[in-house]
A and B are shown apart, each in its own frame.
Chain A
Amino acid sequence: ILNVEQSPQSLHVQEGDSTNFTCSFPSSNFYALHWYRWETAKSPEALFVMTLNGDEKKKGRISATLNTKEGYSYLYIKGSQPEDSATYLCAHPGYGNKLVFGAGTILRVKS
């Protein structure tokens, strides 16, 4: 994998459903993997910066896991709420503070 790839492209779920999405990234020379949430009309906001293989991070109902050997990360949302509706981006750092972003997963939660 040369680029950062995210799937699915979009997801529509009902309030209360749990959901997850995938980010695939180059596994060689791994440094870190970032997850951001971008709500409409707002700025992208960092959720997690993950650096260790097997790392699992949690913020409220959102959690993420990391597998650096195979080059993927999962983001889980438990009990989705309408306020979770956003675009979820993952990014792989390049040199310096450059971030290479995936295209994102658009999540819509219906109440």
Chain B
Amino acid sequence: KAGVTQTPRYLIKTRGQQVTLSCSPISGHRSVSWYQQTPGQGLQFLFEYFSETQRNKGNFPGRFSGRQFSNSRSEMNVSTLELGDSALYLCASSWGRDRPTEAFFGQGTRLTVV
């Protein structure tokens, strides 16, 4: 069973640009969540998508957005990049809908904004 796949693994962008990150969940999982980790910070929840609907959003500015496709693949977009957006972005897939089940994480995308 293939795991959670995130692409690209590494990305360097310039301040002001936008970026799109992709996440393919485990087959059969309909929930995809995104997390950000910056130096010195724990994993911060960005948002969750379930069956193409955003059900949950963390405390991040509107520059952070996402979507989920009918095959459960998800994309996260960050517009007008700032230096502080440099971070590791992890996505996690779960099969549960109403009861939080074990999350399976991808290896992350390391974004550097210069």
Residues in chain A within 8 A of chain B (CB atoms): 31-32, 34, 36, 42-46, 49, 89, 91, 93-104
Interface of B: prevailing SS: loop
The answer to whether B105 and A99 have CB atoms under 8 Å apart is no
Given contacts A98-B33, A98-B56, contact A43 B96 (CB under 8 A): no
Residues of A within 8 A of B50 (CB): 96-97
Interface string of B21-52 (1 = CB under 8 A from A): 00000000001010100000111010010100
Given contacts A43-B106, A44-B105, A93-B100, contact A98 B90 (CB under 8 A): no
The answer to whether A99 and B31 have CB atoms under 8 Å apart is no
Number of CB contacts from chain A to chain B under 8 A: 77
Residues of A within 8 A of B92 (CB): 44, 97, 99
Number of residues of chain B lying within 8 A (CB) of chain A: 30
Residues of B within 8 A of A91 (CB): 43
B108 in complex: contacting residue of A43, A95, A100, CB < 8 Å: A43
Complex CA distance for A31 and B43, rounded to whole angstroms = 20
The answer to whether A49 and B101 have CB atoms under 8 Å apart is yes
Complex CA distance for A101 and B58, rounded to whole angstroms = 13
Residues of A within 8 A of B81 (CB): none
Complex CA distance for A59 and B56, rounded to whole angstroms = 32
Given contacts A31-B100, A34-B102, A95-B55, contact A43 B90 (CB under 8 A): yes
* B50, B58, B103 — most chain A CB neighbours (10 Å): B103
Interface of A: prevailing SS: loop
The answer to whether A44 and B94 have CB atoms under 8 Å apart is no
The answer to whether A99 and B56 have CB atoms under 8 Å apart is no
The answer to whether A99 and B100 have CB atoms under 8 Å apart is yes
The answer to whether A43 and B107 have CB atoms under 8 Å apart is yes
Complex CA distance for A45 and B33, rounded to whole angstroms = 15
The answer to whether A103 and B31 have CB atoms under 8 Å apart is no
Residues of B within 8 A of A103 (CB): 41-42
